[in-house]
Chain A
């Protein structure tokens, strides 16, 4: 068969299957990310059917998917929200970082994956899925709850931490020396600070530069700017994704709102292909040997996220049920863990078991997270009832 025809058929089949998977996910009320990963495993190397024709396209599309994921993340927050969030919740953010980075990093060292592996796995276990958490909060009608600002503040901190972590990771993966690494960190710190300052004072100008009433012009402006900034950031070794994230932060107000609306379908498509592409490159046969470790890591990091949420919520004076809700909502890991693992795998600087472990871990956490958030409330209630035998109406 003509290679182009074959590619089109394969791509069509994959995208169509993704549609079916997304529909299934919606039907049973879960995040589609784990299903996309499984879909990728199915079609990739060592899967039931190997699709070779789309590897190249899936690779580039996956990269664009990451850029769009981070761009939209940046669009979601205004610079003011980031700065006030950082000021209000940095203690909880630091505790979150320590408690949840260490288990992943520790396991990587234990398995003999060295400093690079530790850096990657730490990131994978650290970052909660803000996509899943936001969906859980909205779906369960908890937007008006008192613990919600605490959860969101931690997510904001994590996203800012990503802006520093990704450049460091990129440098380490590229195998630069300690001094070179410091230089990259310096550059990225400077860039993050400058962008935040510019966004706070002159965000409207950046918005004006890309804005257009014509949705076609607007879309091309946005996408062009995002890819350009990502490319330049990548050339400076600051990580393409962070460039896109910073551009998203700089765009604000009505423009940001419109941009989110216009980019959403593109993001959905490319991000789905990104998850599949990650699955494509993972051999399903490599998962069973690491599943035990993945489960242990999942249990441990579910507990550490829980602890983070409980501590943060307790600090702002929230009662026991709210503390547990905050903890459970943070458990889900998803898109950004895969972004981190994807960077590592693409660089070729880590063992292939790492991809398998990250896949298995995210599969577990993306499924368990929303369930934990949902069922923690009745669970806490059941445990608290007998412990509180207060007769009603004492006054």
Chain B
């Protein structure tokens, strides 16, 4: 992927690329530290249809959502042969009982039979996380299991 980086003297820096559908999408990083998600209009790649200011938390979450979706799709593809196995993503919302707790405390595998195969965090993947990995707000857990098992796991993560 070719990401263009352009200096904006006095303001900051723009990083963007052209999508296959002909839209330009990217990020403006301001010198003061804020970042903005930019999306071009459909008919003119020079013009921005939207520039959305994102906080650091929001940017990390968005990165996780996009990356997690991709990972989950790959996993579902791999599991398609095995009937009854589904991949799902869980995010750790603020107020989750396991925020800032080691994952092992939730005992997800014992209680629901579901495996957490990866954690997406700040745009990066933690593959096959062990029970002592501490969960943070905004983390995206990629889980594999049966439909019922995943429902149970969702309930565990939400309500303890």
For A322, what are the chain B residues with a Cβ–Cβ distance below 8 Å?
Answer: 44, 46-47
- A-B contacts, 11 of them at CB < 8 A, read A77-B9, A85-B9, A142-B48, A143-B11, A143-B48, A147-B46, A149-B14, A155-B9, A257-B31, A257-B32, A322-B47
* Interface SS, A side: helix
Contact in complex: A152, B9 (CB < 8 Å): yes
A25 to chain B, nearest CB (A): 22
The interface bits of chain B over 2-43 (1 if a CB of A lies within 8 angstroms of the residue's CB, else 0) are: 000011111100101000000010101001100010101000
Chain A nearest Cβ from B96, distance in angstroms: 34
A residues contacting B by CB (< 8 A) are 76-77, 81-82, 84-85, 130, 134, 138, 141-149, 152-153, 155-156, 257, 318-319, 321-322
CB <8 Å contact, A143 and B36: yes
Inter-subunit contact B7/A321 (CB<8 Å): no
Tell me if B8 and A76 are in contact (CB < 8 A). no
Counting CB contacts under 8 A, is B45 at the interface?
yes
B48 CB contacts on chain A under 8 angstroms = 141-145
B7 near A84: Cβ-Cβ < 8 Å: yes
Partner of A152, one of B8, B38, B40, B46: B8
Q: Which residue of A lies closest to B16 (CB)?
A: A144
Asked if A321 contacts B9 (CB within 8 A), the reply is: no
Given A144-B16, A144-B28, A257-B31, also A152-B11 (CB < 8 A): yes
Q: How distant is A267 from chain B, measured CB to nearest CB, in Å?
A: 15
**A76 surroundings in chain B (CB, below 8 A):** 9-10
Q: Is the CB of B9 within 8 A of A153?
A: yes
Q: Which of B9, B16, B26, B31 has the most CB of A within 10 A?
A: B9
Is A144 in contact with B9, judged by CB distance below 8 angstroms? Answer: no
B69 at the interface (CB under 8 A from A): no
Query: Please, how many angstroms separate the alpha-carbon atoms of A148 and B51 in the complex?
Result: 14
Q: How far is the CB of B32 from chain A (nearest CB, A)?
A: 7
Is the CB–CB distance between A152 and B10 below 8 Å?
yes
In the complex, what's the smallest C-beta–C-beta distance from A257 to chain B, in angstroms?
7
CB-CB under 8 A from B45, the residues of chain A are 146, 319
A144 to B36, CA, bound (A): 9
Minimum C-beta distance from B87 to chain A (A): 34
Inside 8 A of A148's CB, which chain B residues have their CB?
8, 14
Which of B40, B46, B47, B51 is the one whose CB lies under 8 Å from A143? B51
- CB-based contact B14/A81 at 8 Å: no
B6 adjacent to A149 (CB under 8 Å): yes
**How long is the Cα–Cα vector from A14 to B26 in the complex, in angstroms?**
46
Instruction: Give Cα distance in the complex from A82 to B45, angstroms.
Output: 27
Most chain-B CB neighbours within 10 Å: which of A145, A155, A156, A319?
A145
**A336 to B: closest C-beta gap in Å:** 15
CA distance A318 to B40 in the complex (A): 13
The answer to whether B7 touches A144, judged by C-beta atoms less than 8 angstroms apart, is no
Contact between A134 and B46, CB atoms less than 8 A apart: no
| Smallest Cβ-Cβ distance to A137: which chain B residue | B11
Give the shortest distance, in Å, between A78 (CB) and chain B (any CB). 8
Supply 16 further A-B pairs (C-beta < 8 A) apart from A81-B10, A143-B14.
Answer: A76-B10, A77-B10, A81-B9, A82-B9, A84-B7, A134-B10, A143-B36, A144-B26, A144-B40, A147-B46, A149-B7, A152-B10, A257-B31, A318-B46, A319-B44, A319-B45
Given A143-B36, A257-B32, verify A321-B10 contact (CB < 8 Å): no
Complex Cα distance, B6 from A12, in Å, reads: 46
Q: Check A143–B8 contact: CB distance below 8 A.
A: yes
Q: How far is the CA of A345 from the CA of B45 in the complex (A)?
A: 47
Docked complex Cα distance between A21 and B9 (Å) = 30
- Do B7 and A146 touch (CB < 8 A)? no
Bound: A143/B9 CA distance, A: 11
The interface residues of chain B lying within 8 Å CB-to-CB of A130 are 10
Q: Which residues on the B side are within 8 Å of A156 (C-beta)?
A: 9-10
Q: Are B46 and A319 in contact (CB under 8 A)?
A: yes
Expressed in whole angstroms, the Cα–Cα distance for A146 and B38 within the complex equals: 11
Minimal beta-carbon separation of B41 from chain A (angstroms): 10
Chain B neighbourhood of A145, CB < 8 A: 46-48
Q: Which of B6, B31, B46 has the most CB of A within 10 A?
A: B46
